[in-house]
Chain A
Amino acid sequence: GAVVSQHPSWVICKSGTSVKIECRSLDFQATTMFWYRQFPKQSLMLMATSNEGSKATYEQGVEKDKFLINHASLTLSTLTVTSAHPEDSSFYICSARDYKGAGGANVLTFGAGSRLTVL
Chain B
Amino acid sequence: AQTVTQSQPEMSVQEAETVTLSCTYDTSESDYYLFWYKQPPSRQMILVIRQEAYKQQNATENRFSVNFQKAAKSFSLKISDSQLGDAAMYFCAFIIQGAQKLVFGQGTRLTINP
Contacts and interface: CB of A to CB of B under 8 A. Distances in A.
Given A43-B91, A43-B105, A43-B106, A49 B100 contact: yes
A99 interface: no
B104 A107 contact: no
Interface in B29-87: 33, 35, 37, 42-47, 50
Contact of A43 (B33, B35, B46, B107): B107
Interface residues of A, number: 20
B44 A110 contact: yes
Contacts of B102: 34, 46, 95, 108
Interface in A11-59: 32, 34, 38, 41-44, 46, 49
Contacts of A110: 37, 44-46
B44 A42 contact: no
Contacts of A42: 106-107
A60 interface: no
Given A91-B43, A95-B45, A112-B43, A49 B104 contact: no
Contact of B50 (A34, A91, A107): A107
A19 B40 CA distance: 26
Contacts of B47: 103, 107-109
Interface of B: 33, 35, 37, 42-47, 50, 91, 95, 97, 100-102, 104-107, 109
Interface of A: 32, 34, 38, 41-44, 46, 49, 91, 93, 95, 103, 106-110, 112-113
